[in-house]
Structure 1
Amino acid sequence: MELADRVESLTPSTTLAITSKAKALKEDGHDVIGLGAGEPDFNTPEYILDAAKNAMDQGLTKYTPSGGLPELKDAIIDKFKRDQSLVFNRNEIIVTIGAKHALFTLFQVLLNRGDEVIVPVPYWVSYPEQIKLAEGQPVYVKGSEDNNFKITPEQLEESITDQTKAIIINSPSNPTGVLYTKDELEALGEIAIKHNLWIVSDEIYEKLIYGNDNHQSIAEISEELKNHTIIINGVSKSHSMTGWRIGYAAGNETIIKAMTNLASHSTSNPTSISQHAAIAAYTNSEEEIERMKEAFEERLNKLYDWMMEIPNLSCVKPQGAFYLFPNVSKIVNQSPFDSVDEWVKQLLEEEKVAIVPGSGFGSEDNVRLSYATSLDQLEEAAKRIKKFVEKYSV
């Protein structure tokens, strides 16, 4: 059967392939430790569950406006004021079926055929595919590991052409967990303004930042940068609500209106119950979020130390999110395996540890480990990985 070219061009998700294989092994009775998950392992807080139950009991189960409930938009507006001193109105916000849907819809309304979007490498796996689905062209700019995987203003300037429409900034980053500083964002932003580019600021991990670091949105640096920025966010990571599918975009009113019109013909509206749950998420105390963040920070510090005991492994220590992105190229070069992808497959087969090869994120020397699981599982995983590395060291 002949399928549409836009679908044929898609690259299968490496993360899903590993997850599927790990699930099959687990169903066969193997003791598999899965470190591929891109979601918190905590349940959604009780007060959010209660809000959803109350919404159902009250019969709030009908269609909502395509762009989201006004009450939820107001809660998001208050959140921006509270956290970042950013001021938006309802017409500058669309609620979507997860942050992924916000990105997808944004690229659909922003890009024409051949328009280029600058994608820093490493990147989240869906950025390039969504750009291609909108008939755009991803332009990859590699962030050096020596520079904590962050791109420089000089690299950005060199990559811009007459076709460049936007740049993606993901801070904290998936898969690296690194943060851009205010100065770094300002320098990139100046170039974006100079060339009249849109800045797509993916801030989905903003609540999961550790140590003394703080989240910095490029939109809060100046009014001019705010006017060039579309912020993408949601409750999936911050409130452990991945399955509820509530995200949003905030920015230019014309773009948000176009996104809302497109949503009205594609999805009708985000799920009503999930929207009421999200209202509760943004109008209650963040104590539960803080507890979850503390648990992630403890896991990060312990797993990082355990992994650094493995010979020939190097790793930039993350500042946010819940991933490690170590470089294993030296390990693989001293093994019988031809690539990191093969090494990862054999690790799963032999030691039953599922991690994601960095090739899916544009970085073939690295692997991604999620620490969204218990400390016991993380410690055991590190032991198994070390055993595997020592077994195949030449």
Structure 2
Amino acid sequence: MSGLLPVEEAQARLLALRAPLLPEKISFSECVGRYTSDDILALRDQPAAALSAMDGYAIRFEDLPGPWTITGESAAGAAPDRMVGAGEAMRIFTGAILPDGADAIVVQEDVADDGAMLTLTGEGPGARGRHIRARADDFAEGECLLPAGTRLTPGAIAAAAMSGAGQLAVGRRPRVAILTTGDELVPAGRALAPGQIPDSNSPMLAAMLAGEPAIVSLPHHVRDDRAILAKLLKELARRHDAIVTVGGASVGDHDHVRGALQDAGGQIDFWKIAMRPGKPLMAGTIGDAVLLGLPGNPSSAFVTATLFLLPLVRHLAGARDPLPTVHRAPLEIALDGGDGRRDYLRARLKNGRLTPLIGQDSGRTMPLAAANALLIRDIGAPPCDAGATADYIVIA
């Protein structure tokens, strides 16, 4: 279908419209979900010395099977005050520094201790180095622990804190305005006049962005009025890094986003994508803000937000890999061939197999409620039998 932009090209052009935001330094308590702006390098070895991994006794492996003279103890948080010599054992606790001379730990369940002498009663450590955490076993000073652009999970924050850092440089949170258009839309829960429908897109998009490092501004709603829309776009562009319009991006008499963007002094970069649902997607700039125009049907808005809005937010926040990950799984049922647009079918992944849901019309919301994957049927793809593998994207 001529004139339609491939999805990958559109994604690349969207992300090229603006560079990631400048970084800021914040405490660990604020870091979860943010993206590192620099490589996180270890400032220390972890552990900084060989440690015991068990409660027991530090011994020389060559002295097995004992007995040993007990010469003291090593507890976590302090260095042992002497070394372990021939025929000696030192009481040691999990996390304590291994004393010089020792090269194995015999666990306390394998010995008898009369206060002065230690006798082996079990199998013993079995090998030199058993139950010992070697110095720098986790990481060594200077090692890159987290490359720039890494999303900070609780586990990644633990590693960064253990590295010796006191705070982290992360990408700033983009300010995102959600703007719906259309005379027919009414805030959810309000009484409806004939021809009106509840606005499902605002709460849906806000929910999609809830797990992202973004500051979301909503609700903003404009009736089908080009002049008012242009004025609001100007105002929002002064206070936001991205503006997401929903609806009004097609070619109908009441679709005013393209015209309003131009009236407001903005520039359109691309319009219309070779995908279904979501063909009328539009992107451009107004001032320093990126404008992303999503279609108004709920499934179209959801699919295009998954492929474009979430990557844009992650890119602005400093993500190294902002695009969704594509997986593969076998089909539960046969799938028809593709045509001139790439399809993103709402699907269910269950027991490792994909099933496209009934009712792929872009105006339906129930397939969205049941879906946990977008099944990808590429342009011109041949029909597939059940059991053939297909690409998909995980969705919440």
TM norm. shorter chain > 0.5:
no
Structure showing the higher helix proportion among its residues: 1
In the superposition, the TM-score normalised over structure 2's length comes to: 0.28
Bigger RCO (CA 8 Å, 6+ sep)? 1
Structure showing the higher strand proportion among its residues: 2
In the superposition, the TM-score normalised over structure 1's length comes to: 0.28
